[in-house]
Amino acid sequence: MRIGVLTSGGDCPGLNAVIRSVVHRAVVDHGDEVIGFRDGWKGLLEGDWLKLDLDAVSGILARGGTMLGSSRVQPAHLRDGVERARGHLQDLGLDAIIPIGGEGTLKAARLLSDSGLPIVGVPKTIDNDIAVTDVTFGFDTAVGVATEALDRLKTTAESHQRVLIVEVMGRHTGWIALHSGMAAGAHAIVVPERPFDIAELAAKVGERFSAGKKFAIVVAAEGAKPREGTMSYDEGRKDVYGHERFTGIARQLSIELEERLGKEARPVILGHVQRGGTPTAYDRVLATRFGWHAVEAVHRGEFGHMTALRGTDIVMVSLAEAVETLKTVPEERYAEAECVL
Ligand code: F6P
């Protein structure tokens, strides 16, 4: 068989581990040929590719980012390019494409699959917001980076008797905020799933100072918003792909909390550091398993599906089901964390 691989959307630690695993399973065990498209769907639409053999993927398991490059593509552009993609597939003699990506990529994969292209997807995202899989690779690494940052920030916050508001990624879900906040023992966490009341947040932080503590750490998911009418709030803009560009909830909260509490407050935006660098062992293993199972699904002809983790098993789920809803943090998780507003 001849298989094409691509990575699309925001990168995340573990992408290279999937690429390596696909090549190993396909080339070594099945005698397939594998090629990689450069820079996501763009490479497929423009016919820009490279051969992926064992040498090409040597040494990439632990490397962050993606050796193939990534990009985002506007859905309309992709829709217009379906026939071009089909043409490249035929010219290259490809039997299947394995796109590795998050919500946007999986929606695009579904579109191409519905047009009759042989697609087997692999989900990825640090946000952990894909509903049909227990977890996505990249999440564990991002939580680890954010937790280490929070641990470090505690010491400087204490030295200066400050409130630090630490903004983490996650788009419309609070998974990274919840897990890193719990792991680091944050004093308050705000998440997009539950709009917060600024008066309650100020009271919670204030109580800590009244109890004699010298500092406080607030973890704010980038998509967290105040309850309507409780605080003026600068809404984010959309980028050209229709994704929200978050405007800095940490900055806005630091101004508000400083005023309400009379304590120095500083925003810290962790940003893309959460997506960079070496994947954890957990993410490498999950990514490797996803790659292995994606190749098996190709050989079974299970197109229009993607890999997912359920318990300890890797299962195949239809792309249609995969893109139906986002996985948000369920209500019962807030109580366990104790400090979610
Ligand atoms: O979806 C992954 C993610 O890192 C989100 O957490 C974040 O909102 C977004 O991508 C950032 O995108 P960009 O790299 O385009 O700024």
Domain containing residue 240: CATH number: 3.40.50.460
Residue 135 assigned to a binding site: no
Specify whether 127 is catalytic: yes
**Residue 197 belongs to what domain range?**
140-276
Cα→Cα distances 131→13, 160, 310, 319, 323, Å = 20, 41, 11, 11, 8
Same-domain check for residues 239 and 171: yes
DSSP codes of every residue in 20-76: HHHHIIIIIIH--EEEEETTTHHHHHHT-EEE--TTTTTT-TT--S-TT------HH
Do 49 and 10 lie in a common domain? yes
For residues 252 and 233, give the distance between their C-alpha atoms in angstroms, rounded to a whole number. 7
DSSP reduced 3-state for 84 = helix
- The model carries a pTM of 0.95
Here the CATH number for the domain that contains residue 114 is 3.40.50.450
Residue 72 is labelled as binding a ligand: yes
pLDDT of residue 61: 98
Considering the domain boundaries, does residue 328 fall inside one? no
Which residue from 11, 105, 127, 247 has its CB within 8 A of the most atoms of ligand 1, so it is best to mutate?
127
pLDDT tens by residue, 136-172: 999 999 999 999 999 999 999 999 999 999 999 999 9
Q: Which residues of the chain have pLDDT under 70?
A: 236, 240, 247
23 Cβ contact list (under 8 Å, min separation 6): 5, 34, 52, 53, 54, 56, 57
For residue 10, the CA-to-ligand 1 centroid distance in Å is 6
Residues 9 and 130 in one domain: yes
Domain count, the chain: 2
Q: Is residue 330 part of a domain?
A: no
Ligand 1 centroid – CA 171 distance (Å):
7
Asked if the structure places residue 303 within a domain, the reply is yes
**CA atoms of 123 and 107, how far apart (whole Å):** 11
The answer on 112 and 183 residing in a single domain is: no
Residues 11 and 100 both lie in one domain: yes
Q: Mean pLDDT over all residues of the chain?
A: 95
Looking at the fold, whether 26 and 119 belong to one and the same domain comes out as yes
Q: Give yes or no: residues 105 and 79 share one domain.
A: yes
Q: What is the pLDDT of residues 286-300, one digit of tens each?
A: 999 999 999 999 999
The CA–CA distances, whole Å, from 101 to 29, 42, 160, 338 equal 25, 14, 42, 33
In a domain, 160, yes or no: yes
255 in Cβ contact with 263 (< 8 Å): no
